[in-house]
A = this chain, B = another copy of it.
Amino acid sequence: MVTRPPRLTDVAKAAGVSTATASMALNGTGGNRIGSETRDRVLAAAAALGYRPNTVARGLRTRRTQMIGFVGDNVATTPFAGQMIRGAHDAAREAGFLLLMIDTTGDPEETGEAIAALQERQIDGILLATMYHQAIDVPKEIKSTPVVLLDCSADGTVSSVVPDERGGTLGVLAELAAAGHRRIGHVTTAEDVEARHIRLAAWREHVTAYGLDAGDLLAESPEARTHDGYEAAMRLLGRPERPTAIFCFNDRMAMGVYRAAAERGLSIPGDLSVVSYDDQELIAPELAPGLTSAALPHYEMGSWAVKELLRRLDEPDAEPVQHLMPCPTARRQSVAAPR
């Protein structure tokens, strides 16, 4: 016998009340219109029947689906920023929301379609996430739907959260400075991304404060892969007056720097200290010696974004907030005093 799941009507009938009463009793709405004895009867009936509200029906009536759309460019599916989803997921679930996820290639048209698909499903709000910190245009498809940007920022008309790249950079550089380093090199990518610019600028500021020529200490490669890091480091370590420490654009490049150091016969951290950015879980702690790295607070950003979104659902007219999330330094063994 196929029994369909119980409806509110069934609960109401079992408790001997109207569906209106049952609804109010279960949801605690309607102020004090429901007697406590009646409420108990309804609750008991619901429990006995194993009643679970049909949120589709509820959503139709209330225009709230308790679902948040998560649109990301390769965020969900690449190893890098998964913690962003985890953070969003946890914060959402805590508030009784679920994440409806769409991953895109980053193509604006595709993003637009994704947003439309989510809006058809009447999601309550949208999280727009990118894989790397960057500036974007908010798609015009989002008109009335509340939105929060994750790891990207726009024109200031919507809330957003991005990592505090400058703070993170100064953090790991301070680590080196505290160990006594002055000649700190930088190995970076030539790609035109926000992260590169900010990290580079913060590093430049730091070294020029010591009166050093940043040009002597900078090495750049076309991309940010292991091999690019290797190449840049080989060049940097081949210069007449080599740096005593290197700050890498990210952990992947740092892996290449480790390789280059080994090839040049330099031990880390004895001959060369290395710090980096991203604190990727599959790299930074796994390298030997463990890599000191500024952590991208993916989890915290995801969580913050959901909370901000929920806040805006309650107060649609609140001022948009541009949030900078701190990047704490993950200390490991790749830093020591220079020889």
Contact = CB atoms under 8 A, between A and B. Distances in A.
25 contacts: A2-B144, A52-B116, A54-B120, A54-B122, A55-B120, A56-B56, A56-B59, A57-B60, A60-B60, A76-B76, A76-B85, A76-B89, A77-B86, A79-B80, A79-B282, A85-B101, A89-B101, A93-B102, A98-B100, A98-B117, A98-B118, A100-B101, A226-B286, A280-B282, A282-B282
Contacts of A40: none
A300 to B, nearest CB: 14
B101 A99 contact: yes
- Copies of this chain, count: 2
Interface string A266-279: 00000000000000
Contacts of A59: 56
A259 interface: yes
A191 interface: no
A179 interface: no
Interface in A114-131: 116-122
Contacts of A57: 60
Nearest to A225: B286
Interface in A39-81: 52-57, 59-60, 65, 67, 76-80
A283 B255 CA distance: 11
A103 interface: yes
A213 interface: no
A283 B286 CA distance: 10
Interface residues of A, number: 46
A112 interface: no
A53 B60 CA distance: 13
B121 A98 contact: yes
Contact of A100 (B56, B83, B99): B99
A319 interface: no
Given A82-B82, A89-B101, A100-B100, 16 more contacts: A2-B144, A55-B120, A56-B121, A67-B121, A76-B85, A76-B89, A78-B82, A79-B282, A85-B101, A93-B102, A98-B101, A98-B117, A99-B101, A101-B101, A226-B286, A259-B288
